[in-house]
């Protein structure tokens, strides 16, 4: 059986479609509007670079493919490396001879995904709102002149020291909406080697059974879980130590503070569905001086806890503790990523797609240290989101955060599978750069001379050819890691639509002609 599959990415600035050649029989019919492969690739340097015997850039009209490709299968993918969404309806042309004589059957791959399982696990609404909000605040803080704060500290930087005796209380600022803050008393419930576990009891609905007494044993386990990954995660994703002495940032604390409360004051709705499991607030890394100056400038009310800390939802800690343990790894990477770029290296603040990609890679390679199986983690659900929303890409987090998580994770997994596994992730995390620049820098370390855009083009092929399915073992320091294999088609959602828009850094199917079958 021959198969022609149309898989797409389009471009808001440069329409770049490619034809991947594998397997069965295929070549194109002549047309007055056809272009040669060389004509089609001439305007796109990155696409030219990846073109070869099995990867050809084609035009939006019709590109003639050599007859040497008879008895092979063509996969059409269109890429969007532009800055806005466009229609994905035009995938370019690639046709068999005598199309009218084919015994054709059009099948929507995402409606009837062969040999796939519909994902029915827990769906989380993670903290992309907080990440975007806090990244924007951090950019504003970076843009402020630090002349007035340069003398705040010398070698010994500002650090707000709180009690470390279990059972005692200390004040922290919290916000249920990241706009208005209040100071409340937290109780220190457990103290691990590298973390303090603080709890604020703000869930009044007794029917939910979320209280200090109900969580008592879980606090100790949470501290143990974090301690189990504290040094392991830093081996790959960089140190938690703050080296910047310019007065804007706190000094390195003795321990990480983990604050537990009802994050969005939504415990009842969380009991009925999704919610936020945890988040990292960038502002807490700053001292009071720059935050107060930003408040004066914008008539805002931001508050800093002057601590390396992140926030965990009390309801989910009680009811889905394994998901919270995984969230520890996710949020700790956000913290490490900010310290090792914006704080210590003076880099700009990372984009949401980049830091979420890194946090999900952290989950992938560290969940085994938490005793969590891959199939029980958040990650399979994100592959389902990728299947449903791959057209939305990983850059736009305003319209569909699920798409962002799924696509960012798949892209990061592809990069690690293709360019060096754990060593690549480590190079990416510790290069002191962010976003596309960090990817290009880490790619250069592989010796393959690819950059972000050439790797982006090759990504589409990797989803089709099964190159992500193998597990990759690696080590860093004294620790062993496993990057899990992925067959993206194992996870699917039912959809029924004929055309969809294509976002920046995204790809999609032509649902009207996703598969055409013909006899041998």
Which residue segments constitute the domains of the chain, with CATH numbers given? 37-99 (no CATH), 153-349 (3.30.2010.30), 350-508 (no CATH)
* pLDDT score of 155 more than 60: no
- SS3 of 233-268: HHHHHCCCCCCCCCCCECCCCCCEEEEEECCCCCHH
Amino acid 486: pLDDT? 87
Amino acid 207: pLDDT? 83
Q: Where do we find the tokens 């995390």?
A: 429
Amino acid 303: pLDDT? 95
Amino acid 257: pLDDT? 97
Query: 17, 112, 88: which is closest to 57 by C-alpha?
Result: 17
Amino acid 476: pLDDT? 95
Q: Where do we find the tokens 């990155």?
A: 46
Amino acid 353: pLDDT? 93
As given in the structure block, the two tokens for residue 105 are 């059957």
**Residues 368-393: tens digit of each pLDDT:** 999 999 999 999 888 877 777 776 77
Amino acid 517: pLDDT? 26
**CB 255 within 8 Å of CB 194:** yes
Burial 286-299 (b: 16+ CB within 10 A, else e): bbbbbbebbeeeee
As given in the structure block, the two tokens for residue 49 are 């670079």
Looking at per-residue pLDDT, the higher value among 492 and 514 belongs to 492
How many CB atoms are closer than 10 A to CB 494? 11
As given in the structure block, the two tokens for residue 416 are 């690690």
Q: In the structure, what pLDDT confidence band is assigned to residue 265 with cuts at 50, 70 and 90?
A: confident
What's the average model confidence in pLDDT over 147-173?
Answer: 64
pTM of the model: 0.80
Q: State phi, psi for 132 to the nearest 5 degrees.
A: -65, -45
Orientation of helix 128-143 relative to helix 401-418, angle to 10°: 80
**Residues 438-481: tens digit of each pLDDT:** 999 999 988 888 999 888 888 877 776 667 889 999 999 999 99
Amino acid 42: pLDDT? 44
């Amino acid at each position: 059986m021959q198969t022609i599959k149309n898989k797409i990415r389009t471009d808001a600035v440069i329409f770049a479609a490619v034809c991947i050649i594998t397997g069965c029989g295929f070549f194109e019919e002549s047309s007055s509007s056809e272009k040669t492969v060389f004509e089609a690739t001439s305007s796109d340097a990155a696409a030219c670079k990846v073109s070869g015997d099995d990867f050809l850039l084609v035009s939006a009209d019709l590109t003639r493919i050599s007859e040497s490709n008879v008895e092979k299968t063509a996969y059409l993918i269109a890429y969007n490396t532009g800055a806005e969404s466009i229609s994905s309806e035009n995938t370019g042309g690639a046709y068999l001879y005598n199309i009218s004589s084919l015994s054709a059957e059009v099948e929507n791959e995402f409606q009837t995904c062969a040999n796939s399982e519909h994902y029915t696990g827990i769906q989380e609404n993670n903290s992309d709102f907080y990440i975007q909000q806090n990244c924007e605040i951090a950019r504003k803080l970076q843009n402020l002149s630090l002349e007035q704060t340069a003398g705040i500290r010398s070698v010994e930087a500002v650090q707000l020291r709180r009690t470390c005796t279990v059972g005692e209380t200390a004040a922290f600022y919290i916000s249920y909406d990241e706009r208005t803050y209040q100071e409340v008393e937290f109780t220190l419930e457990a103290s691990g080697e590298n973390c303090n576990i603080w709890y604020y009891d703000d869930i009044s609905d007794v029917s939910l059974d979320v209280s200090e007494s109900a969580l008592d044993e879980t606090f100790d386990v949470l501290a143990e879980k974090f301690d189990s990954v504290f040094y392991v995660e830093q081996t790959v994703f960089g140190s938690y130590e703050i080296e910047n002495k310019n007065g804007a940032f706190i000094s390195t604390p003795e321990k990480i503070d983990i604050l537990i409360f009802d994050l969005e004051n939504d415990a009842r709705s969380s009991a009925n569905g999704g919610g936020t499991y945890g988040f990292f607030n960038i502002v807490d890394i700053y001292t009071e001086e720059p935050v107060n100056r930003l408040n004066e400038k914008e008539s805002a009310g931001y508050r800093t806890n002057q601590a390396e800390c992140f926030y965990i939802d009390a309801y989910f800690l009680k009811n889905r503790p394994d998901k919270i343990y995984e969230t520890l790894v996710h949020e700790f990477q956000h913290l490490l990523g900010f310290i090792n770029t914006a704080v210590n290296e003076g880099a700009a603040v990372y984009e949401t797609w980049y830091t979420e990609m890194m946090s999900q890679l952290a989950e992938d390679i560290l969940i085994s240290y938490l005793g969590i199986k891959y199939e029980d983690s958040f990650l399979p659900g994100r592959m389902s989101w990728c299947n449903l929303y791959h057209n939305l890409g990983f850059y736009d987090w305003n319209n569909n955060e699920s798409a962002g998580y799924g696509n960012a994770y798949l892209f990061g997994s592809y990069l690690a599978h293709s360019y060096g596994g754990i060593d690549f992730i480590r190079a990416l995390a510790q290069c002191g750069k962010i976003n596309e620049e960090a990817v290009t820098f880490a790619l250069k370390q592989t010796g393959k001379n690819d950059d972000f855009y050439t790797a982006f083009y090759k990504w589409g092929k990797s989803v089709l050819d099964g190159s992500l399915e193998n597990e990759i073992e690696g080590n860093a320091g004294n620790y062993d890691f496993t990057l899990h294999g992925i067959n993206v088609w194992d996870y699917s959602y039912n959809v029924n639509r004929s055309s969809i828009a294509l976002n920046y850094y995204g790809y999609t199917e032509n649902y009207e002609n996703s598969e055409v079958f013909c006899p041998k």
